[in-house]
Amino acid sequence: MENIVSKTQLTYKTLAISLTFLFSSVVMAKPNVTIVATGGTIAGAGADATNSATYSAAKVPVDTLINAVPQIQNLANVNGVQALQIASESISDKELLTIARQVNELVKKDDVNGVVITHGTDTLEETAFFLNLVIHTDKPIVVVGSMRPSTAISADGPLNLYGAVALAASPESKGKGVLIFMNDSIFAARDTSKRINIHTNAFGSQWGALGMIVESKPYWFREGVKRNTSKSEFNIDQIKGDSLPLVQITYGSDSMTPIAYDAYAKAGVKAIVHAGTGNGSVPNYLVDTFNKLRSGGMQIIRSSRVADGFVLRNAEQPDDKYDWVVAHDLNPQKARLLTALALTKTTDTKEIQRMFWEY
């Protein structure tokens, strides 16, 4: 009898030890984060450590970037893939689709908990917004860059990368859409842009940051209300080929001419995002041109050259009457991407306008 009791006790003890081990290994397990490197200043190299502005972007490979910040391995099991090695102003829809497909493959893997994309800052906002629209996942996706090359005194890339990995590794980042991390601040992809071309605090959003990272801990203060990632109707899995419907941007000013608009129409451009003055205004002497192009099937998207605020529909211009679309608060470069994706699904202006309200 005594023997049976002690055997049972032993079994319970073994079970307890195994459960404790299992529990602690689950609790202690570090998340897996993959860094998708695309180039930019974060991978830039200058001739001298004092060269913070004159350097070549997209030089340093992903493994060197990772090895330069060994502390990221305390936050997650980090591995890297070199998707591109490019300065981001040279990214076209082809590269954008390549990045999106690569990120999509990664987030589908059970053993990937989060993805960080290192990127040039020039078009970082475009890539982040595109991923925000086409990747169906709740896993954290963080796009990060730097303003100083890796070889500069006080390079900002290492700390930005450290924070980006912390963000991608954090369960709190799940389901918040694609995030931009720069200069300690966590931003939403849809409303964040590069606003200063020199300083390390180059990125901003008129609606403010979502939060901050301090010593690898995220502090959250607000959340976006617009559709993104798993709630998006766009899906990279459904986009075929390596181009998107052709959409171009024109810049508003005084003394414009119809030349560029007519040339774009002739070249087969499907939609023009007009970065108009003020409320996306159209000069009275261009209204006929716009309406002629609209009758020919081209979409007219009224955006604004003003960084903040949002374009009001049927104010300044009778959009309902002309069958034009307004870009809401999306800047022209983001409006270009949403329009291109919209055109993969519809040419109905009411539908396109709905998408601008919802994303």
Q: Which residues bind to ligand GLU, rule: CB under 6 A?
A: 39-41, 57, 87-89, 120-122, 145, 147
Q: Is 277 a catalytic residue?
A: no
In sequence order, what E strands does 277-320 have?
A: 299-304
If the CB atoms of residues 88 and 353 are measured against ligand GLU, the closer one turns out to be 88
If the CB atoms of residues 84 and 271 are measured against ligand GLU, the closer one turns out to be 84
**Least distance between ligand GLU and beta carbon 333 (Å):** 13
If the CB atoms of residues 148 and 313 are measured against ligand GLU, the closer one turns out to be 148
**Least distance between ligand GLU and beta carbon 344 (Å):** 26
Would you say how long the chain is, in residues?
359
Q: Is 41 a catalytic residue?
A: yes
Collapsed DSSP state (helix, strand, coil) of residue 171:
helix
Phi, psi of 185, deg, nearest 5: -100, 140
What secondary structure letter does DSSP report for 303?
E
88 annotated among ligand-binding-site residues:
yes
Q: How many helices (H) and strands (E) does the chain have?
A: 11, 14
**Least distance between ligand GLU and beta carbon 44 (Å):** 7
- Give me the catalytic one of 41, 151, 200, 277: 41
Q: Helix 124-134 to helix 332-343 angle, to the nearest 10 degrees?
A: 30
Strands 203-205, 179-182: pairing kind = unpaired
C-beta separation of 280 from 301 below 8 A: no
- Give me the catalytic one of 34, 38, 118, 121: 121
**Least distance between ligand GLU and beta carbon 201 (Å):** 13
If the CB atoms of residues 54 and 238 are measured against ligand GLU, the closer one turns out to be 54
Give the CA radius of gyration of the chain. 24
205 annotated among ligand-binding-site residues:
no
CA distance 214 to 231: 29
184 annotated among ligand-binding-site residues:
no
Active-site residue set: 41, 121
Q: Which residues are annotated as a binding site for substrate?
A: 88, 121-122
Q: Which residues are annotated as a binding site?
A: 88, 121-122
